[in-house]
Structure 1
Amino acid sequence: MRHLNIIPIALSLLLSFGSISCSDNKDVYDTEDIHFVLENDVLSFQRESNSNNFRIKSAVTPQISCSENWVSLKLERLTASIYRLYVTVDENNGDSRSAEVTIKSGDETKTLTVNQSALAQASVHEIADWLGLGWNPGNQMDAYKNGVADELCDGNYPLTQELFNKIKAAGIKTVRLPVTWIGHIGAAPDYKIDDRLERVAEIVGYAENAGLNIIVNIHHDGSGGYGFWLDFKGAAANIAKNLEVEDQIRKVWTQIAERFVDTGDFLIFEGFNEIHDGDWGWGANTTDNGHQYRLLNEWNQLFVNTVRATGGKNATRYLGIPGYAGGWELIEHLELPKDPATGRLLVSVHCYSPGKFCMEFYDEGGNWTYLPEWGHTASEGKYPADDVDEEGLANIFKGLKERFTDKNIPVYIGEFTCTNRPAGRESAFRDYYLEYFCKAAHDCGLAPVFWDNGGKGLGAGQGAIFDRQTGDFVHSNAASVAAMVRAVSDHSPEYTLESIYERAPAPESI
């Protein structure tokens, strides 16, 4: 048995768990009538030696013990009745193992379970390779009409096993399934999800059968500040509203997690999508001294706590954590949640840069259009001169690398796209952009996931790469997808970002 060192430390006040200061909520650690509680009762580690910690509330100094000598414990006193327990495990050179830590407060005893896998923690590049090139069936399970989510209301065909088999054959490794739940959640206090959850489970089954990873999230319920049940703007302005919303987050994610409690690691949960107050990062978040950023960090912590509490496979399932408004532009305000499972959080980031090339915009005449060229060989007036070029795009990814992947925190680009263009020069620039984007991202340890909006035409708003009915490629996307797959999988020394740059479409002759 290893001896426990109890180190009293005088601190003024302990901040409540998960940066709750933004809403002034109180958790059990601030409640006087609860005398003994553990913040976590399970910690999970990979094979490597590592440490994690959690809080204990106890009216007296808790007594801690563990009979396994591969577990080391250290208790730190934070306030008169709050402690932090540090748990360190030795490297595991054998089979998976578990230990029980006994924690006593007076006459009451609680148990902490420490689990350690025989598998090594994957590196960010191993995770990027595992996720590979991803695909979003956009405007499908995320679509809604008149306040009710509907798989078919945007005109797409239902997702099928045949479709998933074909995208797997095309080289896709991961499906990000955006799911909107509005209109399918019952009233308080249970907020019971109807049979939509079973349709999601059916689609998760398609992924498993095809050998694909799949990411399931809560999508348009809260993105855009539209005032649905996941009312971020209302929660940011009113403590009581935030308590109501957080109660529903807890109950909705509990139901989703419990439905998949025994589903394998090919399933990833992503807490939220593009959460903001309706102004896409240009609203009250710029003047509220970080209040909205802290609130989203709080919601992310609640998401992690809720999923982990359901146990089973969810105790160590990979979880995707988004930043404010979803994009890379405000990602510095993201604080990763504390997680009782070490090394199992992924950062989710979207990148639609440069927007006037890869998507569409209204020009001065009010026309819905896009710019047809991009990069160093683009023609004057045909490319977004005021937005990112090759160097700018690479720098976005380098910034994410420095902030996250250099610290072994995995990142996936949950959404990027480029609309379909007519064959010829415009299509060549599109293919160049997609290959360069995916290669630059992958070189930085980032896994890209293409946003396919289902539009099978050409031009503004037409972003499908697969026909949802047949699973076949739309237009010339067989070559486009092949180039993107190569960009995330070809590690040969001669295939570099510079080699792609040198193959850019030739400058237009004068």
Structure 2
Amino acid sequence: MKKNFTQFAQLYTKGFLFVIMVCGLLMSVSVKAQLSTAQHIASKMKIGWNLGNTLEATWVPRNTFGTTTQAAIDSVKAKGFNTVRIPVAWFYHSDTITSKIDAAWLSNVKKVVDYCIKDSMYVIINAHWDKGWLENRVNTANKDIVNKRQQAYWTQIATYFKDYNDHLLFAGANEPNVTDATSMAVLLSYHQTFINAVRATGGNNSSRTLIIQGPSTDIDKTNKLMNTLPVDQIEGRLMVEVHYYTPWNFCGMNGDASWGKMFYYWGKGNHSVTETSRNATWGEESDMDKLLGLMKTKYIDKGIPVIIGEYGAFRKKLSPPSDQTLHNASIEYYYRYFMKSATSKGFITYCWDTGGLFNFTSGRMNDRVVLNAIVQGAKDVTTGTAMLRDNAIEIYPNPFRSTICLKTNHPEDINRVAVYDMMGHQVETVEHAAIKSPLDLGSSLKPDLYIVQVNEFNWTRSFKVLKMQ
């Protein structure tokens, strides 16, 4: 009996030790399981897009939840984008005293995140302008209350999305208004609070990639003022964010001001010879390369990925004698050159869109010219060419009496066909969706001399035609 008991005790002890060892091994595996590094994620992120003026909209009633659809996100993915930045308002959808975020709002944000995750896209959710609770209060007077809110919001957000994998990234702010070293120190405290709050929730958040905004997300300020990053408990999980709307006179200015006039024309080959006062005088290709190069040297070359969370140049509607066609060509060239320059330097870029590029409900492409420029600009880096496939154009008969026929071997590459009279007035237009081959033109025109202008992605061809009696 004693022998049997001893054998049983020995077996029990060995079994117990085995269980302990197995549990310890499993715990060790669990503890060591981490999400990918920021550099690894950056290598997977290609072309990015913003769902702008939607989840960050504070100019609509609080119970009117901005959103999009799976169809819209599918369309963005199909065009070649694989990462989405979702600007979000949290202050507007929370108790301003307790900082408790509305449960229904968290659910709405999750719905949009899930649309993107379903398409295997990388997703960034941030804390956007949101009444300026952080962005306009980067100062010592508001430091304590902002840090308190920052802690409360990101604890809730991180907890809610705790189980998402490395396709979800968090960005702690948007465009924090910083002017000097003092406000820069305050901003670093906000970033530190953001990091600490996320990490404290554990799980995947212990190693999730987090994005830190430079002062005002301005490249020059970031280069001069942000000489240290906040402390993170895990290495290699931080990215830096800047924005790019340079020169503002061309990219976003919608009226002349005392400090400067709007630019209509930008880049090599796109300057006007008749309206020289509207040509860009700064911020063109060499300036762009120089500014982007500052961030490459300061961060990217040191293993810290940089996202350009917003960029864009927005088309103006011009009136004669301004040249709308030359302006449009400038916009197209700006996007393409920017994408080539930024991509070649290792940036991840996110074009700003509030519905001008994609319809947020149907997913319809509203501006194929700009979308093609973005995608092709990124391709230019890998292909080393700035040319699309050859597209032969035939126009016949010429002269013509009834209609003239335009024939092309790649009608899908043509963005627009326009007919102008000899005074420069546009008298007929066919947009991309209606272009086919062959395409009949001129049935409603009076006998006269005309110019048929065919706009493809990186070229414009013009043909002089004559309609006879």
TM-score by length of 2: 0.69
Q: Aligned AA for 1:266? A: H
| Map of 2:404 onto structure 1 | none
Q: Aligned AA for 2:239? A: L
Structure-to-structure mapping, 1:1-400, within 5 angstroms: 115=32, 121=37, 123=39, 127-145=41-59, 148=62, 150-152=64-66, 158-189=67-98, 191-221=100-130, 223=132, 228=133, 230=134, 232-233=136-137, 236-238=139-141, 241-276=142-177, 285-286=179-180, 290-332=181-223, 333-334=225-226, 335-363=228-256, 370-377=262-269, 378-379=271-272, 380-385=276-281, 387-400=282-295
**Between structures 1 and 2, the one with greater strand share:** 1
Question: What are structure 1's unaligned runs of at least 5 residues?
Answer: 1-95, 101-112, 153-157, 455-463, 498-502
Q: Aligned AA for 2:127? A: I
Among 340, 343, 351, which residue is 1:450 paired with? Answer: 351
Q: Aligned AA for 2:32? A: N
Q: Aligned AA for 1:359? A: G
TM-fit CA distance, 1:433: 0.7
- 2:278 & 2:346 partners in 1: Cα distance? 31
Is the Cα–Cα contact under 8 Å of residues 138 and 451 in structure 1 kept in the other structure? yes
Deviations 1:66-104 (A, max 9, x none): xxxxxxxxxxxxxxxxxxxxxxxxxxxxxx99869xxxx
For 1:468, what is the secondary structure of its paired residue?
coil
Among 317, 323, 329, which residue is 1:428 paired with? Answer: 329
- 1:205 & 1:137 partners in 2: Cα distance? 14
For 1:445, what is the secondary structure of its paired residue?
coil
C-alpha spacing 1:492/1:247, structure 2 compared with 1 (3 Å):
closer
- 1:492 & 1:182 partners in 2: Cα distance? 42
Q: Percent identity?
A: 29
C-alpha spacing 1:365/1:275, structure 2 compared with 1 (3 Å):
closer
Deviations 1:313-364 (A, max 9, x none): 1111111100111221211322311112211111111010111112223215
- 1:231 & 1:472 partners in 2: Cα distance? 33
Compare 413-422 and 481-490 and name the one that shifted more: 481-490
Is the Cα–Cα contact under 8 Å of residues 38 and 305 in structure 2 kept in the other structure? no
For 2:192, what is the secondary structure of its paired residue?
helix
C-alpha spacing 1:363/1:188, structure 2 compared with 1 (3 Å):
closer
**Between structures 1 and 2, the one with greater helix share:** 2
Q: Please tell me the root mean square deviation across aligned C-alpha atoms, in Å.
A: 3.1
Is the Cα–Cα contact under 8 Å of residues 92 and 130 in structure 2 kept in the other structure? no
Rg bigger for which structure? 2
| Map of 1:415 onto structure 2 | 310
Is the Cα–Cα contact under 8 Å of residues 262 and 312 in structure 1 kept in the other structure? yes
TM-fit CA distance, 1:447: 1.0
Deviations 1:28-87 (A, max 9, x none): xxxxxxxxxxxxxxxxxxxxxxxxxxxxxxxxxxxxxxxxxxxxxxxxxxxxxxxxxxxx
- 1:295 & 1:312 partners in 2: Cα distance? 29
- 2:158 & 2:68 partners in 1: Cα distance? 22
TM-fit CA distance, 1:232: 4.8
TM-fit CA distance, 1:259: 0.5
| Map of 2:392 onto structure 1 | none
- 2:338 & 2:171 partners in 1: Cα distance? 23
Deviations 1:104-158 (A, max 9, x none): xxxxxxxxx97376x98564xx644522111112111111127958545xxxxx4
Q: Aligned AA for 1:135? A: W
Is the Cα–Cα contact under 8 Å of residues 184 and 194 in structure 1 kept in the other structure? no
- 2:365 & 2:284 partners in 1: Cα distance? 28
Compare 324-333 and 209-218 and name the one that shifted more: 324-333
C-alpha spacing 1:121/1:421, structure 2 compared with 1 (3 Å):
same
Is the Cα–Cα contact under 8 Å of residues 193 and 255 in structure 1 kept in the other structure? no
2:386 maps to 1:472: no
Is the Cα–Cα contact under 8 Å of residues 36 and 166 in structure 2 kept in the other structure? no
- 1:149 & 1:291 partners in 2: Cα distance? 38
| Map of 2:374 onto structure 1 | 484
C-alpha spacing 1:342/1:265, structure 2 compared with 1 (3 Å):
same
For 1:236, what is the secondary structure of its paired residue?
coil
- 1:361 & 1:242 partners in 2: Cα distance? 34
Aligned length: 355
TM-score by length of 1: 0.63
Is the Cα–Cα contact under 8 Å of residues 163 and 470 in structure 1 kept in the other structure? yes
| Map of 1:62 onto structure 2 | none
2:298 maps to 1:406: no
Q: Aligned AA for 1:373? A: Y
For 1:195, what is the secondary structure of its paired residue?
helix
- 1:395 & 1:430 partners in 2: Cα distance? 20
Is the Cα–Cα contact under 8 Å of residues 351 and 416 in structure 1 kept in the other structure? yes
For 2:199, what is the secondary structure of its paired residue?
helix
Question: What are structure 2's unaligned runs of at least 5 residues?
Answer: 1-24, 318-323, 388-456, 461-469
Deviations 1:378-414 (A, max 9, x none): 22223221x2110000111111100010101100100
C-alpha spacing 1:388/1:127, structure 2 compared with 1 (3 Å):
farther
- 1:127 & 1:301 partners in 2: Cα distance? 22
Is the Cα–Cα contact under 8 Å of residues 140 and 183 in structure 2 kept in the other structure? no
C-alpha spacing 1:395/1:222, structure 2 compared with 1 (3 Å):
farther
Is the Cα–Cα contact under 8 Å of residues 350 and 414 in structure 1 kept in the other structure? yes
TM-fit CA distance, 1:437: 0.2
